[in-house]
Each structure stands twice: as C-alpha cells, then as structure tokens.
Amino acid sequence: MSEKPPLSVLDRPNSYIGRSVPRPNARRLLAGRGQYPTDMVLPRMVHVAFARSPFAHARIRSIDTEAARAAPGVVAVATGADIARLCKPWVGTLDHFAGMKSPPQYPLAMEKATWQGEPVVAVVAESRAEAEDALELLDIDYEELTPVTDPETALDPATPVIHEDLGDNLCFSSRVDAGDVDAAFADADLVVEEEFHFPRHTGVTLEPRVITADYDPSEERLTAYHGSQTPYQMQDVYARHLGLAEENVRVLCKDLGGAFGIKLHVHGEEMTTCALSMMLGRPVKWVADRLESFVSDIHARDHRVRARMAVTAEGRIVGFDVDDLTGVGPYSVFPRTSAVEGNQVIKLVGAPYAIEHYRAALKVVLQNKNVMSQYRAVGHPIAFAVTESLVDKAAAELDMDPVAIRRANYVPDDAYPYKTASGMAYEQLSLQQSLDRLVEFIDYEGLRREQAQLREKGVYRGIGLGTFVEITAPGAAFYGVGGARISAQDGCSMKLEPSGRVQLAISINELGQGTETIVAQVAATELGVSMEDIRVTTGDTGSTPYGGAAWASRAAAIGSEATVRAARALRENILEVAGAVLQEAPADLDIRDGQIVGRESGEERLSVAEVGRVGYFRPDTLPPDFHPQLSVVRHYAPQGLPFAFTNGIHASYVEVDVETGGVTLLKHWVVEDCGRVLNPKLVEEQARGGVAQGIGMALFEECLYSEEGQLTNASLADYLVPLSSELPDIHVTHVETPTQYSEIGAKGAGEAGTAASPGAIMNAVNDALRPLGARVSAMPMTPERILTALGRI
Amino acid sequence: MEPIHEITLTVDGEQTTRRVTARRSLADFLREDLGLTGTHVGCEQGVCGACTVRFNGEQIRACLMFAVQADGARVDTVEGLTETGDLTRLQEAFHRNNALQCGFCTPGMLIAASDLLIRNPDPDREEIRAGLSGNYCRCTGYHAIVDAVAEAAQNGKEAEQ
Ligand code: FES
Ligand code: FES
C-alpha cells in the first residue's frame, strides 16, 4: 500500500459536507403531509381541558365537581389530589447550584394556586368542546391571597412568602468575583453605567404544546405522542413520576411545529394527561389553545440588570460590575431549573473582551406569575445587550468609533486557549476576524457616510453592533453534574438494507433545523453512497438509540460525530463482506458512489447492493464462521472543554421616526463562526430565524402583567409577534473555526441569531437617538418608550 | 343535545355530505371530520394564518368560519392544491430556498403566496412582505420565504414567455 488510507470524513471523495443540500424531509411538509402531534387521532381517544386559576395567588377552599361529572360526554373529572395519587411531584433544583430552593410541584394545583393560569382541575370528555362546556359547571371556591408580582420587593419582609416552607421568596443567588473590581473602578478614567430592563416574553411556537397519551394497562405501557424536543428526557420523567418501567414508556414526536426551548420543560398538563390515560386505560389528548399557551408555556427573560464598566482614557476596558435580578415563576421549572439563564448572564457579560476585573451578582426570586425557564439563547441576549450597550456608551463618551473600541478590547485571535475572568475556557474564537469581515460585509464606512448625510436632512438612522460568544454543545456540565437525568451524549444506529440502501436512526431529533439532512450528509459522505440512499428516523425513543436530543445548539455538533462513527463502522463491515466475496483485503477496498471500488485504482468491483444480497441471503457462500455485521450503533459524548464556544457579530441598521417613536429595521447582518459549516444554507436559516426572535424581544414582545398578577395580553392579537412586513432582509456570512476536539469540528448554530440581535438593535436605536440626547435601555423598544426617552410624552 | 346540521360541500374536488354541530369550525371540520390535517390551527382567532384555505377561490381563515357556512361551497386545501399542481412552482421554490423550518405555517403560507401571485404576478420584496403579513412564521424570519416567492414569480414569468 503506497498511501495512507483517508483518516477523516473531511478527506472523503464526493463530500456532502459544506454543501447547501435542500432538506429531503421538507417535501412532505410542503405537501401538507406533515405528521404533527396535533394531528394524532387514536381509537377511543378522549380529550382533556383544564380549569385554571383566575387568580395569581389563592387558597383553594373547595372544589365541587358534581355538576361537571354529569355533563354530556364527560368521562372523568380529576383534581390535584386525584392526579397526585398517580404522579409524584417534582423539584426544579440542580445540585451544583448551591443553596437553590424550590418546593415540590404537582401536576395540578393542590392547596394553593400560585399563578393565574395554573391548572387546577382536569375534565375529560368525548370531545374537547364537551370538556370545555363542563369546565363551566365546576364550582371552585378560591380565597384570594396577596400576589407577589414585583421582583424588586420580592425579598422585603413585608412581602408575603409564596411557599411558607421555603422561608422566603429567594430561589437562588450566586456571585462571581475576579480580580480587584473596586480598585479597577476607583482607578478608571471613565465609568459608564446603566440600568437595563428585559421583561418577560414567550416562545409562541406556532403549533402549541400537545400530547396524546395512550396507556395500555394489559402491558403497563405508556406511549406518548408528545410535541417534545427531548423525548428521552420525557421518557425518564414519565417513567419515574408515574411509576412505570422505563422500557415501557415510549415517547414519539415525528414533526414538531416549533420548539425554541419551550418544548423541553416539564409542564403539569402533559403529566396530567398521561396520568388520566392511566386512570382511564384509553388514549387522552390535550392540545393547548393559544390562551393556554400564553398562561402556561414557560415564559422567558425578565431581568433587571444594573451594570457598570470601567474604561481607561485610551478606551481600554478594564472591568465590569453587574447585578442581575430575575423574577421567575412560583416554582423553578423541572428538570433544568429557572436559574440557568441568570447564571449564564453573570458569566457572559463582558465575555468577548479581555478583562481582568469582573464581579457579578445574581438573585433569582419567585413570583406569582407563570413559570419561567430556558428559551432560545438562554441568557445570551441579556448579557450581550448589556455588554455591547455599555461598550457603545463608552465609545461615545471617549469619541471613539464603535468598531475601534471593539477591535482594541476583544480577546485577540492569537490569545487562545483563553480563560475569562468569569471562569469560562475558550478553545479558539475569531472575534477580530469576524469584526473585520463585518466591516467589509456591511460597507461600514459607506453606511456611516449615508447616516451622516441623512442626519443633515433630519432623518435619524442608527448603526448598532452586537458581538456574541455563545455556549453550545454542552457535555454533562450543564445538567448531568447537577443530578439531572438529561443525556449529554447521543447515539446513531445504521443498518444496510439488502438493497444496498441505508436506514439511519439517531437520538438527535428534527425540529425543522435540518437534523435529518445534516446527518444524512455526514453518513453519505463517510459511507460513500448517495444521500438519496439514506433514510433517517428520529423522534422515537422506541426505535432510536438513547440520547439528549435537540437543545443548546447541540444537534449538529454532537449528532454529526455520532453519525460519522456509525457510518465508518458500517463501511468497514461492508468492506469486510466485500473482501470475503472478492477474496481481497478489506483495507484495499473502499466505497464510492455506492460501489465497492479498489482503494487505489478506483476500479468498480461490486455494488453495495450485492454486498447486501450476499450478506443477508447467501451467507453460505462466505467463509465458515463469517457473520456479516451489517447493523451498527455508535455513540458520541462531547470531549474536551465543558462547552464549545461559538462567536460572531451582528449589525443592525435602523431608522427612528422621532415624531411617532417608530423604529424601522432597514437591514440586519450576521457574521457567525459556528465552527465547521455542514450546510451553509441551514446555518443561515438558523441565524435568520434566531434574529427574528431577537427582533421580537428588542421591539415587540412583552408579556404584560398587572400588579394583581394578571397577564393582560394573552392572545396573538395583543401579543406582538414580528410579521414579514416588519422584518428586514437578514444577511449572513460565515467564518469557520472548527473545534479541534471533534473530528468534523461543528460547534452549533441554533441560537446565535437570538444571542446578539437585541443588543445590536438597541445600539442602533441609541445611535440614531444620540444627536437628540436620548437613550433607551428597556426592551421592547416600543414607540412609547422611545417617545418617553425623547421627552415627548 | 346540540342540534346537528347536514352540509354538502366540495372539498379538494370531491363532494362530501356530513353532519356537524353549529359550532364546528371549518378548520376543525377539515382536520377532524375529513382528516385533512395539512390545514393547521395556530390561534383559532384569525390572526396567525396557519389555517388559510381557498373558499370559492378566495383565501380565507378556516378557523373563523363555521362548517355550516361552507354548505354548498368549494373548499381547496393544501392537499388538494398539491394534487392539482396549483402550488408546484411555489413548493419547488420553497424547497430550494429552505423557506420552511418546522413547516407548521407552510400550508397557509403557500396558499397566501399563491393568492398574492394571482393578484400581482410580479411583486417586489416589499410587496411580498406586505402580501404575506397576515401569515405568521415563527421559525424562518421570513427572508427565505420572500426569496422563494420572488423566485416562483420569476419562474412563472419565464414560463409565460
Ligand atoms: S388558526 Fe386561523 S388564523 Fe390562526
Ligand atoms: S416554519 Fe415554523 S412557523 Fe414557519
């Protein structure tokens, strides 16, 4: 043998890696043939509807269900106590969050309802309409209690304690302290500071949360058709909390109408639906209506951040001092908790910059509002809006250009590996390179000229930059070490069909981000077959290997590594069979375009289909004791540092109408470095979709609560989701810094769009307002907030 | 018992007679009585556009109409319009441009886009954005959808020439 065999999938001929292959599974969705969990129908299926607490905080004195039970079509009525007999409560804390507290949470409220919208009673009927009719006949006697709705006073002695057993309303607190912050601020030539407000918003998946639970008492098996982005986690939760054997619980989710982090938390309605199916021995379906989604899907954000940044006269950033107060719901959400976002904020402020002095304090307080937990880009949009806003403020005070101050302060591209003051370890980022790319990509100088010319005509345009560093593809460091049973690894199985085609099953699921496509790209490349020859199955705990599934931008990074290993093993096994047939050394053979070829000569020897035929139907023609192994499974656990880090920078170009306070988004640009790009188009679409959600946060979306804890805009007509007419074109370009810890080097791309867009837009708005001496630091930046900042109302 | 009404209508070219309650929405009727689950329900309030279908040739929100109001009407859903080829050019362009992620908005979006192209065969990006502003998409940020509709319009023009 003259040459060494190719070692990596990246060296394979006819590679699909890095190509914008369209998604094969999109065809079904385009034809209206998706199979979403809301479409599920089973024989004898009944429907559940929930009575919800009309009060934010109330004692439940009594519940009279008699009239509801007698209503037409009603099959069962269950209270909190009834469901608690079948389902154990859960506690949303993690062991590595020292001192964290949250009380046991039951699927339905027990003695007390603690937020407006908390499910209290479940009514099951033959149709959803009949179940809803019967809700009206329930007689629930509530004693209203004083609600806790202001995070600022949640810990005051005069404020009622939501859960007496906890002693106070503090869920978690934490601090980071590095260097000598007090001295750094005392010595600083300039200190910029600001108080920021990031109110609650929510995911608004277009398909609401949904489950059809089908319990078969004869086998004690539960099959849950659940709109979930983490089927394995839910298999574990259902088994443990409903007292079932894990192998008897199967969670399926084929297509899913949006997830964004909303559909990986444990909510009471799904648990109740499963318990009801066990109670009744027949399938029970629940679909949230939009009002229910608003009051029960987890909310996100709600941070008040006070932050200061110390700078030298030359524009050198020396330190940050941050205080984050975040109001969560009455319970920390299981199993990921409601403290992770705040915990990320206090690590990520200042993350792109080489600073020594860093202090951050976090308080997470309980509130009588809907539960709150992780949503796309957890903590990042908060941290980078704060950081980038202070950086721009300092630049303005020092009369520096925003590009120049960033370039001078980024962790330099040649400084890696690097550890931040807050303790995060970076393998390799490309902050300076990405900034240079952006300046060119957006014609920064040209934009500045245009801005200046228009300003003379009384047109107020602004340019805003937003840098990000993003935590992706975590190993066990996020949850596993804290005792949560959430898999940090993933698995991929592959089998050769007798036809020579391949079935692939993987624990990473498809949320529309393109998982099935990228794993087929990787598998086809490594195997040496066409992508059309690969059929991918996801979203079924019963027929795929165990894994973590899709969260924290891990699908591409971890899934592609499991896939390449499985594909390599299958290729080797196919070549073993081919070698036996041809009486040649398998190492001298390869697979290209679905044919077994001589590795050196490239000469076609045999089709893969022939290997399948002989391997399955004529093993008698193979040497004695040769057993073709044409199915394989391989798993991959992330290696190296606890997290991969991606980075990039956004730019936003806006026009502010100073008469109406309206903001028009003219353009948005993203430079992102997600490591190896497996499919540029799919990465771009992840960025664009993420930017749109960041735009929602920056300009439109807010869950508005009254002082009494009533959500006052719980409908799609009142809660503003960005429309096509409100969004700009979003241009994306790539810098590629693959991680060296894995073979392919992908790091993850699902959340980068959301991480930095709100900050970039805030900077653009403030850039537009600067000549008028106005500034906003609260989101969403509504016309009202802008006119207030301008002193016009 | 609720009164039941008998209705006869043509759905995707097939005449069908069914018995429905007065409060059954057309969207639920299509999805649950006829099993045409390509029509989606995102808000039941006429806001999101996921339930968009053609009703006597005009696009409407199937969640805002009762099934009884469709008595005698012709309703076309994404399933039927796929079979007739009415949406092919848009579907191809959506596929090439990856103008869908989860796909939940997609059937409504395709019908809204085809309606837009019937009214204005040569829209610019702004007109496309305005024309689709009654259809929510939470996944894509709309850019790729605008690209796809522009491409379908272009291909339509070329096919005419
Ligand atoms: S479901 Fe009809 S418009 Fe939303
Ligand atoms: S693709 Fe998911 S809502 Fe449009």
Q: How far apart are CA A728 and CA B125, in angstroms?
A: 10
Query: Do A239 and A245 touch, CB atoms closer than 8 A?
Result: yes
Q: What is the pLDDT of residue A477?
A: 77
CA angle (A298, A301, A307) in 5-degree steps? 165
Query: Do A434 and A622 touch, CB atoms closer than 8 A?
Result: no
Domains of chain A, first to last: 26-34+489-636 (3.30.365.10), 425-475+644-793 (3.30.365.10)
Which of B24, B50, B80 terminates a domain? The answer is: B80
Average pLDDT over chain A, rounded to an integer: 96
Question: Is there a single domain that holds both residue B106 and residue B130?
Answer: yes
Q: Which two tokens stand for residue A250?
A: 């199967």
Give the 3-state secondary structure of B25-89. Answer: EHHHHHHHHCCCCCCCCCCCCCCCCCCEEEECCEEEEHHHCEHHHHCCCEEECHHHHHHHCCCHH
The whole-angstrom distance between residue A444's C-alpha and the CA centroid of its chain comes to 31
E-strand ranges in A128-220 read 139-144, 170-178, 190-202, 210-216
Average pLDDT over chain B, rounded to an integer: 97
B144 CB under 6 A from ligand 2?
no
Over the stretch A739-774, which tens digit does the pLDDT of each residue have? Answer: 999 999 999 888 899 999 999 999 999 999 999 999
Question: Is there a single domain that holds both residue B76 and residue B97?
Answer: no
The one-letter code for the residue type at A625 is: D
Buried b (16+ CB within 10 A) or exposed e, A216-255: eeeeeebbbbbbbbbbbbbbbbbbebbebeeebbbbbbbb
B51-70 residues touching A, CB cutoff 8 A:
none
| Least confident window among A483-487, A567-571, B117-121 | A483-487
| Least confident window among A308-322, A550-564, B3-17 | A550-564
Q: Decide if the complex's ipTM is over 0.85.
A: yes
Q: What is the pLDDT of residue A472?
A: 86
Nearest ligand 1 atom, CA B44:
1
Question: Is there a single domain that holds both residue B75 and residue B97?
Answer: no
Query: What CATH number has the domain bearing residue B133?
Result: 1.10.150.120
Q: What is the pLDDT of residue A549?
A: 84
Angle at which helix A340-348 crosses helix A380-398, to 10 degrees, equals 30
Please provide residue A201's backbone torsions phi and psi, each rounded to the nearest 5 degrees.
-140, -175
The answer for residues whose C-beta is within 8 angstroms of residue A452's C-beta and 6 or more apart is none
Q: Name the residue range of residue B76's domain.
A: 4-80
Q: What is the pLDDT of residue A2?
A: 41
Whose CA is closest to A174, among A41, A60, A325?
Answer: A325
Query: What CATH number has the domain bearing residue B55?
Result: 3.10.20.30
Examine residue A335 and say whether the peptide bond preceding it is cis (omega within 30 degrees of 0): yes
Question: Is there a single domain that holds both residue B71 and residue B100?
Answer: no
Q: Is the pLDDT of residue A274 over 80?
A: yes
Q: What is the pLDDT of residue A11?
A: 85
Q: How far apart are CA A603 and CA A596, in angstroms?
A: 8
Q: What is the pLDDT of residue A550?
A: 81
Q: How far apart are CA B141 and CA A591, in angstroms?
A: 40
Give the one of A26, A290, A726 whose C-beta lies nearest to B43's C-beta: A290
Whose CA is closest to A722, among A754, A749, A752?
Answer: A754
Which of B55, B80, B105 terminates a domain? The answer is: B80
pLDDT-above-70 percentage for chain A: 99
Question: Is there a single domain that holds both residue B67 and residue B98?
Answer: no
Indicate yes or no: pTM above 0.95.
yes
Query: Do A356 and A421 touch, CB atoms closer than 8 A?
Result: yes
Over the stretch A27-78, which tens digit does the pLDDT of each residue have? Answer: 999 999 999 999 999 999 999 999 999 999 999 999 999 999 999 999 999 9
Q: Is A740 helix (H, G, I), strand (E, B) or coil?
A: coil
The answer for residues whose C-beta is within 8 angstroms of residue A417's C-beta and 6 or more apart is A425, A426, A427, A428
Q: What is the pLDDT of residue A153?
A: 97
Q: How far apart are CA B48 and CA A208, in angstroms?
A: 12
B137 CB under 6 A from ligand 2?
yes
pLDDT-derived band at A7 (thresholds 50, 70, 90) equals low
Q: Would you tell me how many other CB atoms lie within 10 Å of the CB of residue A621? A: 10
Q: What is the pLDDT of residue A6?
A: 53
CA angle (A94, A98, A104) in 5-degree steps? 45
Q: Is A782 helix (H, G, I), strand (E, B) or coil?
A: coil
Which chain A residues are within 8 Å of B43, Cβ to Cβ? 290, 715-716
Closest chain B residue by Cα to residue A37: B37
Q: How far apart are CA A628 and CA A607, in angstroms?
A: 16
Q: Is the pLDDT of residue B21 over 50?
A: yes
Q: Is the pLDDT of residue A696 over 90?
A: yes
Question: Is there a single domain that holds both residue B94 and residue B144?
Answer: yes
Q: What is the pLDDT of residue A401?
A: 98
Q: What is the pLDDT of residue A641?
A: 85
Please indicate if any CB of chain B lies within 8 Å of the CB of A415: no
A104 CB under 6 A from ligand 2?
no
Q: Is the pLDDT of residue B54 over 90?
A: yes
Q: What is the pLDDT of residue A695?
A: 98
Does the CA dihedral A274-A275-A278-A282 come out positive or negative? negative
Over the stretch A424-459, which tens digit does the pLDDT of each residue have? Answer: 999 999 999 999 999 999 999 999 999 999 999 999
Does the CA dihedral A574-A578-A583-A584 come out positive or negative? negative
pLDDT-above-90 percentage for chain B: 95
Which of B80, B114, B139 terminates a domain? The answer is: B80
* B98:A753 CB<8 A: no
- The predicted model gives B32-51 an average pLDDT of 97
| Least confident window among A44-58, A554-568, A611-625 | A554-568
pLDDT-derived band at A1 (thresholds 50, 70, 90) equals very low
Question: Is there a single domain that holds both residue B64 and residue B22?
Answer: yes
Q: What is the pLDDT of residue A555?
A: 77
- For chain B, the residue count is 161
Give the one of B50, B101, B128 whose C-beta lies nearest to A513's C-beta: B101
Over the stretch A372-396, which tens digit does the pLDDT of each residue have? Answer: 999 999 999 999 999 999 999 999 9
Query: Do A746 and A638 touch, CB atoms closer than 8 A?
Result: no
* B95:A689 CB<8 A: no
Question: Is there a single domain that holds both residue B75 and residue B140?
Answer: no
Nearest ligand 2 atom, CA B103:
1
Helices vs strands, H then E, count in chain A: 19, 28
Question: Is there a single domain that holds both residue B93 and residue B156?
Answer: yes
Over the stretch A650-694, which tens digit does the pLDDT of each residue have? Answer: 999 999 999 999 999 999 999 999 999 999 999 999 999 999 999
Query: Do B52 and B61 touch, CB atoms closer than 8 A?
Result: yes
Q: Chain B: give the shortest CA distance to residue A654, in Å.
A: 16
Q: Which two tokens stand for residue A225?
A: 């058709």
Question: Is there a single domain that holds both residue B107 and residue B129?
Answer: yes
Please indicate if any CB of chain B lies within 8 Å of the CB of A289: yes
Q: Would you tell me how many other CB atoms lie within 10 Å of the CB of residue A319? A: 27
Question: Is there a single domain that holds both residue B76 and residue B124?
Answer: no
Residue with tokens 């559909």: A263
Does the CA dihedral A447-A452-A458-A463 come out positive or negative? positive
- Ligand 2 centroid distance, CA of B137 (Å): 5
Q: Is the pLDDT of residue A5 over 70?
A: no
Please give the tally of structural domains in chain B. 2
pLDDT-above-90 percentage for chain A: 93
B123-142 residues touching A, CB cutoff 8 A:
125, 128-130, 132-133, 135-142
Q: How far apart are CA A640 and CA A646, in angstroms?
A: 15
Question: Is there a single domain that holds both residue B104 and residue B44?
Answer: no
Q: What is the pLDDT of residue A478?
A: 79
Over the stretch A452-481, which tens digit does the pLDDT of each residue have? Answer: 999 999 999 999 999 999 998 777 877 888
Q: What is the pLDDT of residue A249?
A: 98
Q: Which residues, in sequence order, are bridge partners of residue A518? A: none
Q: Which two tokens stand for residue B38?
A: 């390509």
